[in-house]
Amino acid sequence: MRNYQEELEEKYRKLGVSPEAHMEGLLHRKPINYWDYVSLETLMTLQKPLTDHPDEEIFIIYHQVTELVLKLLTNELKQMVGKNELSADEIKVKLGRITRYTNLLITSFGIMEEGMDYYSYNTFRTSLAPASGFQSVQFREIEMYCTPLINLVNAKGKERLKASTSLESLIENLYWKDAGLNRKTGEKSLTLRQFETKYLPSLGKLAIAMEGKSLLHKVLKYQDNAELIQLLKDFDFQYNVAWPMVHLKTAAKYLDSKGENKEATGGSEWKKYLHPKHQQRVFFPFLWENESILDYKKK
């Protein structure tokens, strides 16, 4: 029979703290309940609509849920890139999880596409500029966990790079900057300026930390593992093609379905920016040497 007191004492000794003080604290601790454990009451207060349109709360909740799902992906990816060695079986388990999370991102877009009134949405959205989903830093972090920066530079960006592949040059030519940067004049949108001011330093540090350690680097030695390769292709396609296409379809319903080509809240050319053929984002290029990722599910 396990002696939990001895195990607790050993645990705290290994941590270098007093077992007596900590175990006495356990005696005074209140029993945990569900609402406190998930911070339910706090969670219910995190929606701050800017207008009186009730559908705006749907819009806020949906994006908060999306950020939580992105955190699920981030949690798994951090574990993978944080280990020096990963077995093929470990990678398969993690890929199964992150693909399920990605599928949740895809299917949940039905909330946006079918769950809001067209006119209500197009009224309250005018109060949101310059805020944009473009400013989701977790989205950018996931990209960096998955693949080297060079794979986040589209064809035109690679032409601009020429022989320079310094960290600064790569970051300046990332595909997503095209959504807020006029490459001819150098002028940046307010949406992009806000994002870079808040997050560019931390993204730069993450890029340095991920050099040679991204998920791509972890899986290269398993190219002969057919099951793992299939899982990688599924994730790459779902995240970089299927999800953007659902986003594009939903945006078209609200911004372009009644003969109007409305501008995105962040000011980007949303039709061009959202389409995978313009983003050209691929996490694992070696998977697509004999076929296009855009044609993967057309077979």
CATH topology of domain 54-124+136-298: Methane Monooxygenase Hydroxylase; Chain G, domain 1 (1.20.58)
With 0-12 / 13-18 / 19 or more C-beta atoms within 10 angstroms meaning exposed / middle / buried, residue 205 is exposed
Sort 49 into a burial class: Cβ within 10 Å, 0-12 / 13-18 / 19+: middle
The per-type count for the chain, helices as H runs and strands as E runs, is 17, 0
Per run of 10 residues, the mean pLDDT along the chain (length 299 residues) is 83 85 80 94 96 95 97 98 94 97 95 90 90 94 97 93 87 92 92 96 96 96 96 97 91 72 64 81 95 84
pLDDT on residue 257: 62
From residue 178, give the alpha-carbon distance in Å to each of 165, 174, 188, 223, 269: 18, 8, 9, 33, 9
Torsion sign (Cα): 180, 186, 190, 196: positive
What integer pLDDT is reported at residue 279 of this predicted model? 86
pLDDT at 259: 59
Cα separation, 167 vs 225, in Å, equals: 32
Every domain of the chain and the residues it spans: 54-124+136-298
Rg from Cα positions in the chain = 23
